[in-house]
Chains A and B, each alone.
Chain A
Amino acid sequence: MPLTLDQVRHIAALARLRLTAEEERRYAGQLSAILDYAERLQRVDTADVPPTAGVQDVRAPLRPDHPRPGLPRERALANAPATADGMFLVPPVLDV
């Protein structure tokens, strides 16, 4: 089932990717071909098969809950493109 351009635009919006018109056309074709290939999974009978989300059947080990220092604020902020007053700076998200 080929993906339509509208579906590609919807997926790109969900994934927060701005695409050019040329990219939309190219990805529509390529993603359709890959999904078409993945269709063969539908032919496998998995009625009694449990899913594998991860390969480990052991429970995640617990460690003692000892407080320890985290990443210092200035190092956490050091890579940010914009900061102010010790915080990450972003464009306004609320109308004021």
Chain B
Amino acid sequence: MADLTDLSLLEAGAALRAGEVSSLELTRACLERIASLEPALHAFLAVAPAMAEAQAAAADHRLVESRRTDAASPAVLGIPFVAKDVLCVQGLPATAGSRILEGFRPPFTATAVQRLLNDGAVLLGKTNTDEFAMGSSTENSAYGVTHNPWSPDRVPGGSSGGTATAVAARMCFAGLGSDTGGSIRQPAAFCGVTGLKPTYGRVSRYGLIAYGSSLDSVGAMARSAADLTPVFETMAGHDSLDSTSLEAAPPRVGLDGSVRGLRLGVPAEYFLEGMQPAVEQAVRQAVEVFRGLGAQVIDISLPHTDLALPVYYVIAPAEASANLARYDGIRFGPRLSGAAEATPASLMDQYLATRGELFGPEVKRRIMLGTYALSAGYYDAYYGQAQRVRTLIKRDFERAFEQVDAIACPVAPTAAFPIGGHGDDPLSMYLEDVFTLPANLAGIPGLALPVGFDPGGLPIGMQLNGRPLSEPLLLRMADAYQRETDWHRRAPKIDDARPNEAPA
């Protein structure tokens, strides 16, 4: 067999069930791949070889048993995967990319991870993220930037950039991420993989380190929609540990390659002056592929799209400022005394020093923005007004979905930008999220899939948005597209790129 890490998740699963390969072999192949590409790509904040090999051995035992008894085994049994380091896993550190959680070892495991582990998937490690998932490039990680496997001087996107890089670079077969304003879809697009942000509440947030609680979704990435499907099916469904998790029946995804008769909306507001021409071209060509497969393409309007950015950057920081109040140096994480010499530290000194020194610049920026937006005298003008405009954005989608079954648009205005490209200008970085924020504000699912490359050889992603709980439709559409095209099969030539010798 060729390099095991080049197998798709579905091929690897079939080989496992047929007894042609063991989970331990797959796991060791991934660990070797990780060892050869790290720390150059820096996709991981923690790799757990011993734990992974133990899980793989247990999976092999289950595989042998199910072959012996001729019983069906779970689709992800024995499949190596990774989890973004905002998902808690008992026995492994959880940093959220922040120094304020250095050394923290959570006493519980996130439900999304636990469901994959219950079905015998093998966790290889935790992946890099912008600090507390706040960012679009992984440059805000306190532990260093992740490099895009297609071009090491480019960002992988963010905040789930470590997972996107690990999936694209064949260090695993699938990976989990979180998406509050585009943090799964944008890195998936920048790294040329398929990523799904589910409907708000579709996947439990239990054990996810919170950022913006009305926006946060746990989702996944893989190298194709077909590979992503069993991961999503395993994770999704009600969880009594998360009171916002939906009680809807577990999803049943049927991938039959058919999109005939589906109405696909293309919103005028998502094709902006100033976006990279190659992005618009690739997305419009992908829409033509859907038309060729029998979908009906309809021009639509989502008139409040340009307000999503200011709404998001009021609501998300406001929620973050409340969620991050818990990092006070008392129950977990390091503690700084903050006392002037020879005077005993007060509790207030300790709060100010611990939070002031251990939160990074973007996190402090958002905490202050949120604190201001929620403060007396400004609450209604900022937070209240943002919530009312959020209603208008949600209604835009409700009206559109009376007319169409799904919406096709770009994931981001450009392909992956250079590391350091946004300098010290937070607003220009926020504009990267302009096409992904609306789905979080409306709570609808969004799927990113590769639809081409720019002239520099960087992947371009298209987004499909659908009604709440329409993930099965989005996965079916993406799979139908991927049966017709091979963008998702292209792999970065990392060995030639020598990520540890990035051009100056």
Report which A residues bind B (CB closer than 8 A). 3, 7-8, 11-12, 14-19, 23, 26-27, 30-31, 33-35, 37-38, 40-42, 44, 46, 49-56, 58, 60-61, 63, 71, 75-76, 78-82, 88, 90-93
Contact = CB atoms under 8 A, between A and B. Distances in A.
Contacts of B214: 53-55
Contacts of B244: 54, 56, 60
Given A56-B443, A76-B107, A17 B391 contact: no
Nearest to A18: B356
A41 B386 contact: yes
B310 A8 contact: no
A36 B462 CA distance: 31
A18 B384 CA distance: 28
Contact of B328 (A11, A16, A30, A34): A16
A23 B349 CA distance: 18
B351 A16 contact: yes
Interface in B376-434: 381-382, 384-392, 394, 424, 426-427, 430
A75 B107 contact: yes
Given A34-B426, A76-B107, A80-B330, A51 B390 contact: yes
Contacts of B107: 71, 75-76, 78-79
* From B388, B392, B427, B430, residue with most partner A Cβ within 10 Å: B388
A46 B389 contact: yes
A52 B394 contact: yes
B334 interface: yes
B247 A61 contact: yes
A23 to B, nearest CB: 8
B332 interface: yes
Q: List the 7 shortest-distance A-B pairs measured between CB atoms, nearest first.
A: A55-B443, A18-B356, A51-B387, A79-B332, A46-B388, A18-B352, A81-B335
A38 B347 contact: no
A1 B350 CA distance: 33
A42 B389 CA distance: 10
B355 A16 contact: yes
Interface in B317-366: 321, 325, 328-335, 338, 344-353, 355-357, 359, 361, 364-365
A18 to B, nearest CB: 3
B331 A88 contact: yes
A1 B335 CA distance: 36
Nearest to B214: A54
A14 B375 contact: yes
Given A38-B310, A56-B443, A88-B330, A17 B427 contact: no
B500 interface: no
Contacts of B314: 38, 41
B111 to A, nearest CB: 15
Contacts of A58: 246-247
- What is the interface of chain A mostly: helix, strand, loop, or mixed? loop
**Chain B contact residues, majority secondary structure:** helix
Contacts of A15: 321, 355, 364, 367-368, 371
A79 B105 contact: yes
Contact of B313 (A38, A78, A80): A38
B353 A18 contact: yes
Interface string B223-249: 000000000000000101001101100
Given A17-B355, A52-B391, A79-B332, A37 B367 contact: no
A31 B394 contact: no
Residue among A42, A60, A91 with max Cβ neighbours from chain B (10 Å) = A91
Contacts of B361: 23
Given A15-B364, A46-B391, 13 more contacts: A7-B372, A15-B355, A17-B364, A38-B386, A40-B310, A41-B382, A49-B392, A52-B391, A55-B441, A56-B201, A79-B104, A79-B331, A81-B329
Contacts of A7: 372
A80 B385 contact: no
Contact of B355 (A18, A40, A81): A18
Residue from A18, A49, A52, A60 with most neighbouring chain B CB atoms (10 Å): A52
B369 interface: yes
B442 A17 contact: no
Given A55-B394, A63-B240, A79-B104, A37 B310 contact: yes
Nearest to B371: A15
A80 B442 CA distance: 38
B333 A11 contact: no
30 contacts: A7-B372, A11-B372, A16-B352, A17-B356, A17-B367, A17-B368, A18-B356, A23-B361, A23-B364, A27-B365, A27-B368, A33-B426, A35-B369, A38-B314, A38-B382, A41-B314, A41-B385, A44-B385, A49-B391, A49-B392, A51-B391, A53-B387, A56-B244, A58-B246, A71-B108, A76-B331, A78-B107, A79-B331, A88-B330, A91-B345
